Amino acid sequence: MAIVAIISLRACMLFFGEPVDAAHYALMTISALLALILFRGKTSDDVPIGHSFWSVSLSVFSRWLLLFAALLALAYATKTSTLYSRKLLFTWLLVTPPMLLLTRLAIDHAIMRMVIASNHSRRIVIAGANELGRNLAEKLKNFPQYGMAIDGFFDDRSAERLGSDSSIRIIGKLPELPDYVRKNNIDLIFIVLPMRNIERVTEILDQLHDTTASIYFVPDVFVFDLIQCRTGDIDGMPIVALCETPFHGMRGIVKQTSDYIIASAILLITSPLLLAIALAIKLTTPGNVIFKQRRYGLDGHEIIVYKFRTMTVSEDADSVRQATKGDSRITKVGAILRRYSLDELPQFINVLQGRMSVVGPRPHAVAHNEEYRPLIKGYMVRHKVNPGITGLAQVQGFRGETKSVEDMKNRVDCDLEYLRNWTLALDLKIIARTVNIMFSDKMAY
């Protein structure tokens, strides 16, 4: 990867006809050293399974941005920033990430082909033939390119308790595992025993330390309702996050940047329409053009959300009566705005303020939050992120009036699903579907 970054820089210099001297070579050498640190390879003991294209892309782009920022800071500190023109640096910034990504994908593909061609498999056994262990085996089988061959399972339960699943092979009981590993040159061991049997897990680990196999413990955290589960450590103490925001680190920067870009573009494009709507409201009904609502935002803190006023009254009290079909409070202009969701346009200002996102769980009235949070499990988890102008629930048909607790539960389920599976591609897909719904949905009123 370091070589790719240097080749890219050298190509940009040739393209712009910029000369190369000792100072340039010194800076390129430093660039290569930093790139070696940031793009260092994984060890052979890693289990690189299930890394999606988006996760690989995010990793490559974030490391490149960090490298580029470090080089700019170094050039500024050493007063060598004048060695390269701004157009060259800007071109290098844009051209290099695709080259790094293509190189990374090509290397991964080549390694996979070599593994398949060599017929060299890493032999695996799984301690525990429970549901978690069987799910793990299925996932491993879905990635044959990594050259992993499952010998079978070890479990203490009787054949009657294990069932008649012919897809799994029970090699023996758990006490027989260490001896089998030593005699059969096993490379990897996955321990999937329940955490309540921690004493048994510790006993097995002590026995397996007399082997050279790599050992992985798969905790049964899936008994919990996980939101962005990830592992980490605090000064060497391992921790597992069970409920966390998806917008952590570089993912948060990507989300915030995309929000600002999209909101700025939409406000610029729709500025004539915004002015026309404001005039229509002002000329047809008395009162303010903008209706300010109290909503719960990030971490459950109250925020002020903007909307074009569509009713003859502005309700934002401790109890709120939802808009219904044929509601007499809705003005003629308001009916048109609500039909095409144009009353939400001022919320792009909230996005620029950092109070909202373009895509996310829709903000509910404060009164509704207090009503539903004790009734729906995980209701407040949706406030781990900024509320959105549109969301997964809205494009899946759960918008408009909520007539029952079940209606609200369906919305919350969609919100939690969004938190579990967020990607920038998902945001763009939701935005595209929202635009289509604006002109076809019959539930808005």
Residue 46: per-residue pLDDT:
47
Residue 22: per-residue pLDDT:
65
Flag whether pLDDT at 329 surpasses 60.
Answer: yes
Flag whether pLDDT at 34 surpasses 70.
Answer: no
Task: Provide the residue type at 338 as one letter.
Answer: R
Average pLDDT over residues 240-248: 84
Of the two residues 165 and 287, the one the predictor is more confident about is 287
Give pTM, 2 decimals. 0.67
pLDDT tens digits, one per residue of 297-321: 999 899 999 999 988 765 555 555 5
Q: Which two tokens stand for residue 76?
A: 């500024």
Which structural domains are found in the chain, ordered by start?
A: 2-118 (no CATH), 122-223 (3.40.50.720), 250-438 (no CATH)
| pLDDT bucket at 45, cuts 50 / 70 / 90 | very low
Flag whether pLDDT at 254 surpasses 60.
Answer: yes
Residue 297: per-residue pLDDT:
92
Task: Provide the residue type at 185 as one letter.
Answer: N
Which of these ranges, 71-80, 213-222, 252-261, 263-272, has the smallest mean pLDDT? 71-80
Flag whether pLDDT at 264 surpasses 80.
Answer: yes
pLDDT tens digits, one per residue of 384-426: 999 999 999 999 988 777 778 998 999 999 999 999 989 888 9
